Amino acid sequence: MFLTLLCFSFIVQAYLEGPPGPPQGVHVARWLLTWTPAPEEPDVTFTVQYRSFHESGWTDVPDCVQISSSQCNVTSAGGADQHGCTLLRVQAVRRGLTSEPAQACSKFGDPCTPEVRLSARPGSLTVHLPGNHSLALEHAAHAKHRVFYGKEGELLKDYVDKVSSVTIQGLQEGQRYCVMTQFLLYQRPAGPPSCISCQLIPLSQHQSKQTWILAVVLLVVLPAVLTPLVVYLFMFRCGSVKRWLRSNRHSLSQHFFQDLSSEGHIRVSSSDPEEHFDRVTSIQASSPCTPLRASWPALEQH
């Protein structure tokens, strides 16, 4: 009974936790496979698998099954393929649940991975690929490169198959694009792909010149034109501006005249003292833009 409850609790815990996260940064260099465990994933082991060129399924690497370390020598996997090139991937394992597989890539290039060099021009990106690699010497035109590309941060869905270097046209200027390449033998992947490389597509001289012209207009020309215009209007056309403003004056909306008290009018205390005021007798204006001058007699009190 106790063992039954223990097994049941183990199954429930595994179900609630779910599978672990996949490993990150899976790289292979000279048959040494390394990776980084997903963050905050305790009690996790790792299993490395390979797939040969002539096989469709994945096979565990004998020395790399449910290991706790984050590296493994996969030399035995390379000898299983007639071309010496195999695909590699790593899965995290916890309580019988496995993560999504993470495919390995090669940073530095080797006989099974293309050596990639990028050069960018306005609107295009050239992927330089050697045409005299070992697979091409042995299989001629049956050995090609599959070049995946796309914007940085997006999934690399688009691809082209070429024997040697390829130039990708129609790219957005000022945007970073990323590339990943892989060998193909008879239209099937052979060997780990190259790790993703990214390059900025530069702006064309015409577009760069337009940007500078727009900046100069906004920062220099526009203020230089507007400043004299404002000074002219203020000094010589102030009266015309005032008359135009008077003629286009909008009347106040009716809600400004609504009652301010619950009885419909404002009560004024009778205890307030009498108001003092000046009687204006004449108004003079010396110029359209100067304030009005008023004259009045001595102060009168009512």
pTM comes to 0.61
Instruction: Look up residue 112 and give its two tokens.
Output: 């099974």
d(CA 96, CA 282): 101
- H/E element holding 89? strand 87-94
Residues in the chain: 302
pLDDT of residue 76: 78
The CATH number assigned to the domain with range 117-201 reads 2.60.40.10
Range(s) for CATH 2.60.40.10 in the chain? 17-106, 117-201
Instruction: Look up residue 52 and give its two tokens.
Output: 């040969």
Q: Is 204 exposed, middle or buried (0-12, 13-18, 19+ CB in 10 A)?
A: middle
Among candidates 242, 239, 247, which has minimal Cα distance to 288? 239
- 41 contacts 21 by C-beta, under 8 angstroms: yes
Task: Give the three-state DSSP class for 300.
Answer: strand
First to last CA, the chain: 108
Splitting the chain (302 residues) into consecutive groups of 10 residues, what average pLDDT does each group show?
Answer: 50 63 92 91 92 88 93 77 76 93 88 90 93 83 92 91 92 96 90 94 75 69 77 70 66 54 50 56 55 51 46
pLDDT of residue 259: 56
- According to CATH, the superfamily of the domain at 17-106 is Immunoglobulins (2.60.40.10)
pLDDT of residue 135: 85
pLDDT of residue 275: 56
- 90 contacts 46 by C-beta, under 8 angstroms: yes
Half-sphere exposure of residue 293: CA atoms within 13 angstroms, side-chain side: 7
pLDDT of residue 20: 93
d(CA 182, CA 85): 11
Task: Give the three-state DSSP class for 267.
Answer: coil
